[in-house]
C-alpha cells in the first residue's frame, strides 16, 4: 500500500500555533478529513479534496481515511489541539484494530498544541505541578465515571483541565461538576475560564471556584481548576513546583 495516513493536530486556533511538521503534511495531502469547523481551517487548493463531517462520526471518518490511504492517497485527518488528546488519533487506531487488511499502512501522528497548554501559557503556569485532564462529555463514557474522576482528582489536589465543559445539549453537567468540586473542598481554588484561545474571540478570566458560574463556560471554553497551592503574581497565575 503506497498511500499514507497522517493524524494531525491544528493547535488551539491561531495559524501561528500550527507546527511546521503539520503544515508540511497538509501541503502534501490529497485528502483532508475532519470535523467541519476544523476542516474549514485548511486552505483549499488544486489537488486537495476536503471531507468535512459531523463531530459524532469519528469512527466512520477514521474508516474512510484508512480506506483512502489504502487506495494510495496521501490522507490527513485533522483535529484541533493535539490529535491524541480527546481527539482523532484514538478513533483511527480503534478503526484500525478491527481492520487487519490495513495494519501495514504508513501511519503517523503529528502532535499539536492542546487547548489546556495554550490556555495555561496565556495566563502563566497554572499546570506547573501535577495535573490531569477530564472530558465532561458523556457521549463515550457514563456520567458516573466523570463524577468519580472529578471527585478523586479534587481530593488528590491535582490541577484539573476540564474539556468540553458545557454544551446546548447538556447544559447541566458543568453545574454538577462545579458542585462536586466544591463538595470535595475545592471552593477556594482558582478556576480559569479560557475561551477561544489564540483567536480574535479569546477571553480569559479567573475567579475562585466558589464564585464560578455555569454560564461562564461553553464548548469553546477550557476550564482549569488550579491546585490549592496555586497563587497570583500580579496578573499571572502559577502553580509552584513544590506542593503538598
Q: What is the three-state SS of 91-140?
A: HHHHHHHCCHHHCCCEEEEECCCCHHHHHHHHHEECCCCCEEEEECCCCC
pTM of the model: 0.93
**pLDDT (tens digit per residue) in 54-106:** 988 999 999 999 999 999 999 999 999 999 999 999 999 999 999 999 999 99
Query: At 67, is the secondary structure helix, strand, or coil?
Result: helix
CA–CA separation, 82 and 114 (whole Å): 5
Pick the CATH number of 4-113 from 3.40.1160.10, 3.20.20.70, 3.40.1010.10, 3.40.50.410: 3.40.1010.10
Report pLDDT for 242: 80
Residues of each domain in the chain carrying CATH 3.30.950.10: 116-238
For the chain, what percent of residues have pLDDT higher than 70?
99
Report pLDDT for 89: 98
10 Å CB burial of residue 227 (0-12, 13-18, 19+) is buried
- For residue 219, report the phi and psi dihedrals to the nearest 5 degrees: -70, -10
CA–CA separation, 158 and 160 (whole Å): 6
Q: Are 52 and 40 a contacting pair, CB within 8 Å?
A: yes
- For residue 138, report the phi and psi dihedrals to the nearest 5 degrees: -105, 25
Residue written as cell 473542598? 185
- For residue 48, report the phi and psi dihedrals to the nearest 5 degrees: -115, 130
Residues of each domain in the chain carrying CATH 3.40.1010.10: 4-113
In sequence order, which residues have a C-beta less than 8 Å from that of residue 211 and are 6 or more positions away?
Answer: none
Mean local confidence (pLDDT), 190-208: 97
Q: Which CATH class is domain 116-238?
A: alpha beta
Amino acid at each position: 500500500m503506497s498511500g499514507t495516513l497522517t493524524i494531525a493536530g491544528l493547535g488551539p486556533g491561531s495559524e501561528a500555533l500550527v507546527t511546521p511538521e503539520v503544515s508540511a503534511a497538509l501541503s502534501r495531502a490529497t485528502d483532508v478529513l475532519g470535523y467541519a469547523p476544523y476542516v474549514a481551517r485548511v486552505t483549499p487548493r488544486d489537488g486537495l479534496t476536503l471531507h468535512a463531517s459531523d463531530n459524532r462520526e469519528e469512527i466512520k471518518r477514521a474508516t474512510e481515511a484508512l480506506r483512502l490511504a489504502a487506495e494510495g492517497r496521501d490522507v490527513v485527518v485533522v483535529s484541533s489541539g493535539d490529535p491524541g488528546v480527546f481527539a482523532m488519533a484514538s478513533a483511527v487506531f480503534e478503526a484500525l484494530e478491527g481492520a487487519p487488511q490495513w495494519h501495514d499502512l504508513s501511519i503517523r501522528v503529528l502532535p499539536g498544541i492542546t487547548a489546556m497548554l495554550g490556555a495555561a501559557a496565556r495566563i502563566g503556569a497554572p499546570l506547573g505541578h501535577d495535573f490531569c485532564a477530564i472530558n465532561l462529555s458523556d457521549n463515550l463514557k457514563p456520567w458516573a465515571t466523570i463524577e468519580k474522576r472529578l471527585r478523586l482528582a479534587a481530593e488528590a489536589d491535582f490541577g484539573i483541565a476540564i474539556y468540553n465543559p458545557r454544551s446546548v445539549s447538556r447544559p447541566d453537567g458543568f453545574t454538577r461538576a462545579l458542585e462536586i468540586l466544591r463538595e470535595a473542598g475545592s471552593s477556594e481554588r482558582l478556576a480559569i475560564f479560557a475561551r477561544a484561545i489564540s483567536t480574535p474571540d479569546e477571553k480569559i478570566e479567573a475567579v475562585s471556584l466558589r464564585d464560578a458560574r455555569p454560564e461562564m463556560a461553553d464548548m469553546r471554553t477550557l476550564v482549569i481548576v488550579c491546585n490549592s497551592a496555586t497563587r497570583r503574581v500580579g496578573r499571572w497565575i502559577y502553580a509552584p513546583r513544590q506542593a503538598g
